[in-house]
């Protein structure tokens, strides 16, 4: 009998996996170019040509726009900043409702709060883990101003349906495309289907600038507002004319020349790096096919998935052993993995407690919305019992290591009865 590594057998994966690294000599040269020039950032927080950034920032934005086929690009220092700027750009104000999924990085749902907006959670669908358009439709009220769709794990949400819904109700559709560069739906890149798309360039994404982000839009007015919020809008408002440009206050969300120079090199490599992530994930999917109780990621029709994460669904009833024990056995075989992804965001104390400094905090005093457990049952189930993840953008296995990873899945699956007595410490 093959003994599982967790119980003293030998691991299926022969050695540690290489971490995923995307930078090299090209980025080194780019950094050196900027260092020698000496202008590490060229933004000015006052009205001047440099209000919109320096040469590397402008070149990076232009190149990004060309790569994604979109008119306007506004670089920022993180996707978090980009999401906040997007809320300001579309004019979210106190009490406005913004529909968000609960199964995403927290920044998605926090962004409206910076403007006094109210995050309203709609559940996701259980096949693709993104906003369920029907749940979104059910959540729309006269207070709704926007939807933030997250293209989770590198696959587009049902953006066509969500855009149609947004257009029907006069709402903005913002795409949180932090995880999906070059993902696509119906022949269009994810991030370019909503009114604004936000990409992340933090160090654990497909490509990165250490920290960074990019906002994209085809709307000149939204682009100008994004650019203003990035850089002390109050100092530029008088120069842009009346109306849509006034009444904005800005942050410092600026990208440095150094980051932009790195980003320009990363962008050149992005399609190859992404293709390799897709290769790894597709091979893994093919390798676990037929393993009862384990559903590899499904790809939506007419979509290109770019696999920031490979998120499989685990059926505890069918497998007879808990996901977390199975995952522990996989780890022992040498397969780094994660379970559950994030807690449904409405379970965070930001939503559960809401009382600070002796009173219910703004803007929750503006809403009757509640954030009780049970709000989004699909998300809760995926988090608690079903989601099992291989971190495609954290490791860079060779093809033979991918085969070993597949062998590890098959080994644990076949011998899972050995795990019957394994228990985990209470969380």
Ligand X SMILES: Cc1ncc(COP(=O)(O)O)c(C=O)c1O
Residues between 233 and 252 that touch ligand X (CB under 6 A): none
Q: In terms of DSSP bridges, do strands 213-217 and 355-356 run parallel, antiparallel, or are they unpaired? A: unpaired
Q: Which is nearer to ligand X, 88 or 287 (CB)?
A: 88
Tell the smallest beta-carbon distance from residue 254 to ligand X (Å).
14
Q: What is the DSSP letter of 75?
A: E
Distance CA 297, CA 72 (A): 32
Is 154 or 334 the residue whose CB approaches ligand X more closely? 154
- Does 54 engage in binding with ligand X (CB under 6 A)? no
Nearer CB in complex with ligand X: 342/407: 342
Q: How far is the CB of 360 from ligand X (least distance, A)?
A: 27
3-state helix, strand, coil in the chain (%, to 5): 40, 15, 45
Q: Which helix (H) or strand (E) holds 74?
A: strand 72-76
Is the CB of residue 33 less than 8 Å from the CB of residue 39?
A: no
Among 179, 295, 337, 350, the residue binding ligand X under the rule CB under 6 A is 179
Q: How far is the CB of 78 from ligand X (least distance, A)?
A: 3
The size of the chain, in residues, is 427
Closest approach, Cβ 47 to ligand X, in A, equals 28
Segment 68 to 97, residues that bind ligand X, using CB under 6 A: 78-80
- Site residues (CB under 6 A) for ligand X, limited to 190-209: 200, 202
- Other Cβ atoms less than 10 A from the Cβ of 276: the count is 15
Q: Output the smallest distance, CB 58 to ligand X, in A.
A: 21
In whole angstroms, the minimum distance from the beta carbon of 80 to ligand X comes to 3
- Closest distance of CB 101 from ligand X, Å: 9
Task: Give the strand order in the sheet containing 144-150.
Answer: 72-76, 213-217, 196-200, 172-176, 144-150, 97-100, 118-121
Comparison of 207 and 233: residue with beta carbon closer to ligand X: 207
Q: Nearer Cβ to ligand X, position 195 or 206?
A: 206
Closest CA to 145 of 163, 109, 165, 172: 172
Q: With contacts defined by CB under 6 A, how many residues of the chain interact with ligand X?
A: 14
Residues in region 98-117 near ligand X by CB under 6 A: 104-105, 107-108
**Shortest gap between Cβ of 111 and ligand X (angstroms)?**
9
Residue among 79 and 273 whose Cβ is closer to ligand X: 79
Q: Which residues of 189-201 are buried (b: 16+ CB within 10 A; e: fewer)?
A: bbbbbbbbbbbbb
Minimum distance between the CB of residue 386 and ligand X, rounded to whole angstroms?
Answer: 19
Among 109, 118, 178, 296, contact with ligand X (rule: CB under 6 A): 178
Among 88, 112, 119, 213, binds ligand X (CB under 6 A): 213
Q: Max CA-CA distance within the chain? A: 77
Nearer to ligand X, 233 or 393 (CB): 393
Interface segment toward ligand X; rule CB under 6 A; list 32-40, 61-69, 88-96, 173-181 = 173-181
Whether the bond into 363 is cis, omega within 30 of 0: yes
Terminal-residue alpha carbon distance, the chain: 32
| Min separation Cβ 177 and ligand X, Å | 8
Q: What is the CA radius of gyration of the chain?
A: 23
* Nearer of residues 200 and 285 to ligand X, judged by Cβ: 200
Query: DSSP code of 395?
Result: B
Letters for 136-155 (x = contact with ligand X by CB under 6 A, - = none) are: --------------x-----
Q: Which residues pair with 229 in a beta bridge?
A: none
The nearest distance, CB 4 to ligand X, in angstroms, is: 32
Per the listing, tokens 């950034």 go with 53
Question: Nearer Cβ to ligand X, position 266 or 401?
Answer: 266
Is 186 exposed, middle or buried (CB count within 10 Å of its CB: 0-12, 13-18, 19+)?
A: exposed
Task: Return the structure tokens found at 220.
Answer: 């000149």
Query: CA-to-CA distance for 294 and 326, rounded, in angstroms?
Result: 11
- Part of the chain binding ligand X (CB under 6 A), chosen from 62-70, 136-144, 174-182, 219-227: 174-182
In angstroms, the CA 414 to CA 8 distance is 16
Footprint of ligand X on this chain (CB under 6 A)?
78-80, 104-105, 107-108, 150, 176, 178-179, 200, 202, 213
């Amino acid at each position: 009998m093959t003994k599982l590594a967790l119980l003293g057998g030998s691991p299926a994966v022969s050695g540690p996996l290489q971490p995923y690294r995307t930078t090299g000599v090209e980025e080194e040269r780019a950094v050196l170019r900027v260092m020698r020039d000496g202008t590490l950032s060229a933004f000015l927080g006052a009205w001047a040509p440099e209000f919109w950034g320096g040469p590397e920032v402008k070149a990076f934005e232009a190149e990004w726009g060309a790569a994604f086929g979109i008119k306007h690009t506004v670089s920022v220092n993180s996707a978090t900043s980009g999401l906040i700027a997007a809320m300001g750009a579309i004019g979210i104000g106190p009490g406005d409702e913004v529909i968000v999924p609960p199964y995403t990085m927290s920044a998605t749902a926090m962004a409206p709060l910076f403007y006094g907006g109210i995050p309203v959670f709609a559940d996701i669908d259980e096949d693709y883990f993104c906003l369920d358009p029907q749940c979104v439709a059910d959540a729309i009220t006269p207070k709704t101003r926007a939807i933030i769709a997250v293209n989770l794990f590198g696959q587009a949400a049902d953006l066509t349906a969500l855009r149609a819904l947004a257009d029907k109700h006069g709402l903005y559709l913002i795409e949180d495309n932090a995880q999906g560069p070059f993902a696509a739906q119906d022949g269009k890149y994810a991030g370019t289907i909503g009114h604004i798309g936000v990409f992340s360039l933090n160090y654990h994404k497909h490509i990165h600038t250490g920290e960074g982000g990019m906002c994209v839009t085809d709307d000149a007015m939204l682009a100008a507002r994004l650019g203003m919020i990035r850089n002390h809008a109050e100092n530029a408002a008088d120069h842009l004319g009346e109306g849509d440009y006034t009444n904005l206050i800005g942050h410092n969300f600026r990208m440095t020349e150094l980051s932009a120079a790195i980003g320009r090199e990363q962008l050149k490599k992005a399609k190859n790096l992404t293709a390799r992530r897709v290769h790894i994930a597709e091979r893994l999917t093919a390798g676990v096919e037929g393993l009862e109780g384990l559903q590899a990621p499904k790809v939506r029709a007419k979509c290109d998935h770019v696999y920031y994460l490979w998120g499989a669904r685990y059926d505890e009833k069918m497998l007879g052993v808990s996901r977390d024990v199975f995952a522990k056995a996989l780890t022992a075989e040498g397969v780094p993995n994660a379970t559950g992804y994030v807690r449904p965001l409405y379970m965070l104390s930001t939503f559960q407690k809401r009382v600070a400094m002796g009173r219910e905090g703004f803007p929750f005093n503006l809403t009757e919305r509640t954030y009780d457990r049970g709000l989004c049952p699909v998300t809760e189930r995926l988090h608690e019992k079903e989601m099992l993840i291989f971190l495609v953008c954290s490791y860079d296995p060779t093809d033979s290591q991918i085969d070993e990873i597949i062998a590890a899945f098959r080994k644990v699956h076949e011998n899972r009865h050995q795990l019957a007595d394994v228990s985990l410490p209470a969380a």
